[in-house]
Structure 1
Amino acid sequence: MKTYPEKFARLPGGGEPAWKIAYLFPSQGDWCEGEYLALNTNHLVELSQGRLEVLPMPTTSHQMLAAHLYGLLLAFAAGRDLGTVLFAGVLVRLWPGTIREPDIAFLLKEHAGRMSNKFWKGADLVMEIVSGGAEDRKRDLKEKRQEYAQAGIPEYWIVDPHEERITVLRLDGKEYAVHGEHLKGATASSHLLPGFSADVTTAFAQRLPSASPKQSRKPRRSKKS
């Protein structure tokens, strides 16, 4: 039986298969920061432990929700001259070999020296909007929770449209503790930035109607640590 490369070595018409281009790139697990930063792509790609992770392109509903939360945080931070807020596209270097691209990232004014045109060296608050399938949910709910904590990021907001829940995590030693779990009818508040909050019902209303969960849920009270 022919191997995969042998079987597809030639295509009808004598052309070369596009997958051969992959041989020009490092193997998964061998990517370094320089190679990752040199990528020229319109796709969302993160670097974790020397491996590339290609993220799903955000939907309109995802972007509407992100824009709403970004606007809230930007207005709060700018009005108090607290620091810099940016949305997906800014690269956050957690440690050598691991660079993430949060949906929203915030850096305190006193940490402005961590910013460069290539990437930020860490962040003070990050938000991720959970989307995609099981693998993508695992990335935001488990893997990034561990990585952001390991990187010493003080606060992590997990915004889950499927569950219509915003979970605010605060760094407690080397791990995150739950500062609050907030469903529709409640208000999510920050531990790092006293006074900053987001109404959960209003936040999840920033989506196309077809993106809302099919089964309605009764509002429940927030859980706080």
Structure 2
Amino acid sequence: MSVAATSRPKMTFEEWSHLPEDEAGELVDGELVEAEMPSFVHEVVVIWLGAVLRAWAVARGGLVAGSGLKLRVSSRRGRMADLAVYFRRGRVQARGVVTVPPDIAVEIVSPDPQDQRRDRIDKLDEYAAFGVRYYWLVSPDLRTIEILELGADGRYVHAQNLSAGTSSAVGCEGLAIDLDDLWREVERAETEEPDT
């Protein structure tokens, strides 16, 4: 079978932005790349961290968006961070694909090698080029939060590793993250059986 016979037409950002919610995926060079199926632990971390970030951000005039937010990170790529924190609300469009970088993008890193590559290599480069000031990589398996900060040269530099206790996060004045509580929540999600 020839390559021409199997190739699909490239998807535009407009088409991507209008996909139904049940057709989740990221746009990579005009191709819809299927989103990973998040685990229970992944979703527990997203909700826990989202609540902490929301309480902090709202008190400072910011907003926190969840994983359905579509970001146009380059002319040919669209991504969906697990959480996105914005303080520049006046410039962010309310509908469609967002073209303004968040101040903080958060990815919950899964143990799958393909997903790790996407979060630690592909998205790292794309978020830096897009102008995301802080990129958080949260690893429930390692019980760490790695915070990267965008340098003057447009590349990320390692800013902070968080793993235990109540910690502040670089660039987030007044934010206190009780990591012990977060990891207890992860432990519960990993070990508890639901009531039947």
Pairing partner for 1:86 from 50, 65, 77: 65
Pairwise CA RMSD:
2.4
Check the 8 A contact 1:188/1:199 in 2, yes or no. no
Listed one character per residue, the Cα deviations across residues 195-217 of structure 1 (whole Å, up to 9, x for unaligned) are 223222222222354637xxxxx
**1:172 Cα offset (Å):** 0.3
Q: TM-score, normalised by structure 1?
A: 0.74
Partner residue, 1:219: none
Pairing partner for 2:122 from 129, 143, 155: 143
1:39 is paired with a residue whose SS is coil
Pairing partner for 1:134 from 89, 97, 113: 113
Partner residue, 1:42: 22
Check the 8 A contact 1:50/1:97 in 2, yes or no. yes
Structure with larger RCO (C-alpha < 8 A, sep 6+): 2
User: Which blocks of at least 5 consecutive residues in structure 1 are unaligned?
Assistant: 5-21, 213-225
Check the 8 A contact 1:48/1:99 in 2, yes or no. yes
Partner residue, 1:190: 170
Deviating 4+ runs (over 4 angstroms): none
2:26 is paired with a residue whose SS is strand
Check the 8 A contact 1:60/1:208 in 2, yes or no. no
Check the 8 A contact 1:56/1:132 in 2, yes or no. no
> Is 1:116 aligned with 2:79?
no
**1:130 Cα offset (Å):** 0.7
Pairing partner for 1:74 from 43, 51, 54: 54
User: Which blocks of at least 5 consecutive residues in structure 2 are unaligned?
Assistant: 192-196
Partner residue, 2:77: 98
2:132 is paired with a residue whose SS is coil
Residue type of the partner of 2:124? R
Distance in structure 2 (CA, Å) of the matches to 1:201 and 1:44:
32
% same residue = 25
Check the 8 A contact 2:111/2:141 in 1, yes or no. no
Find the structure with the greater CA-based Rg: 1
**1:117 Cα offset (Å):** 0.9
